[in-house]
Every structure is written in C-alpha cells, then in structure tokens.
Amino acid sequence: MEGNNKNIFKENSKINFNRTAEVYDESSDGKFVAPMYEEIVSRVISANPKKILDVGCGTGNVLIKLSANYKFGLYGVDISENMIKIAKKNLGDKAELKVGDSEYIPWEDNSFDVIVCNASFHHYPSPEKVLLEMKRVLKNSGLLIIGDPTAPVICRQFINLYCKTSNNGDYKIYSEKEIKALLVKCGFEPFDFKKINYKSFAISAKVRK
C-alpha cells in the first residue's frame, strides 16, 4: 500500500510540472528557486568537474548557467516530459537530457563527477532510494550538491502535514539535522551546509570511502 501512496506523489509531481512547465520560470515556484542558483553553480564550478548530472533539471536553468562559460559535459533528467521539452529548447545540443525517474537514473554506474539536485529533493517520496541511485552513478571521488527549501521548525511541521494531503507533489521538507542524517545513512559524508536565505539551504556531500 505504501508503495502505491509513494507512486501517487510521483504522479502528482509529474502532472503538476507537465501542467506548469511553460510558465514555470515566471511562477512563484520558479522565482522561489532562483536565489539558489548562484550558490549551487558556484559549488559546481569550484569542483571543476568534467561531467555533471542535474537530477530534477526542470527547464534546465542550472545547466543553462553552467553552459554559459564552461566546457562541462552536461546531463539532465526530469520526470516531466514537458519540462524536458522546454529544457531541450533552452539548451539545444549543449546537454544530454532524458525523461526519467530519479529512483532509476538512466545512466551507468560511476558516470558523473558531480550531481546537482536543486529544488527537487523535497518531491521524492523515497529519498533513500534516490540517494542510493545518485551514489551509484557518481564516481567514487564524486560530489553531490543539494539545494532545497526549508523552514523554521513550527512552520516545517505544518508544511509537512500539508504535503501529505496536497496533490502538488511536494513530499517533505528537511531540517539541517534530517538531511545530514539521511545522507550519512545512504553512504555520504555531508559538509558545507549553508542557509541561502530563511527558506532554502545548500549542502554538499562526498561518497564515503
């Protein structure tokens, strides 16, 4: 039964993002994630990777910023066909983009130097499954960079109760302690947690040796 419930969250995300893809960048969601781009992009650039995968790449905004001045190999996956359609329009042949589920990332083991997951992690109803998949396609020396919403504790509890009943595909927002514990549980060493503003954070993690 739980598996079915989790699939409903994924289906709701897909429906929601397919519906809003055309206007996403101008929407309140699009404006919410915009302040996170600079922090995420600067973390990628300082890692100087050859191949980068953006999980939950949406319309391709992070990949667009990375394609501007750097010769990175860029890859993206998103559950929404319409988001990928727009990302392809935005990026042309600068990135390899696929429709896919973050629990079943459609690339081989040890493929990427960096994985970025920006404003997408809170949609995942099976976060451990996703982290283990990310670890699988990351190289042993690879870096995971997550940017996601957060909120003060009381607000977070209300939001998470609301997530359980809403149909917009949001699953859970995490505290610093929760996201770190989840990363450690899945074989990562988290570091450099940073509140970007009062409602979002970034965190980096290495695969634990």
The more confident residue out of 152 and 132 is: 132
Please check the confidence at residue 199 and state whether its pLDDT lies above 90.
no
DSSP letters spanning 59-98:
TSHHHHHHHHH---EEEEEES-HHHHHHHHHHHGGGEEEE
Q: What's the CATH number where 174 sits?
A: 3.40.50.150
pLDDT for residue 207 is more than 60: yes
What mean pLDDT do residues 170-186 have?
A: 91
Domain range holding 54? Answer: 1-208
> What is the C-alpha separation between 11 and 17, in angstroms, rounded?
10
Q: How many other CB atoms are there within 10 angstroms of residue 140's CB atom? A: 10
Our count of domains for the chain comes to 1
Give the orientation angle of helix 176-185 with respect to helix 127-137, to 10 degrees. Answer: 60
Q: Give residue-wise pLDDT tens across range 97-146.
A: 999 999 999 999 999 999 999 989 988 989 999 999 999 999 999 999 99
Residues across the chain: 209
What pLDDT score was predicted for residue 27? 42
Q: What would you report as the CA-atom Rg of the chain, rounded to the nearest whole angstrom?
A: 16
pLDDT at 87: 95
CA distances from 150 to 43, 64, 184 (A): 19, 25, 19
In the sheet where 95-99 sits, what is the strand order? 95-99, 73-78, 51-55, 112-118, 138-149, 200-207, 188-197
SS3 category, 46 = helix
- Arithmetic mean of pLDDT, 141-170: 73
3-state DSSP assignment of residue 133: helix
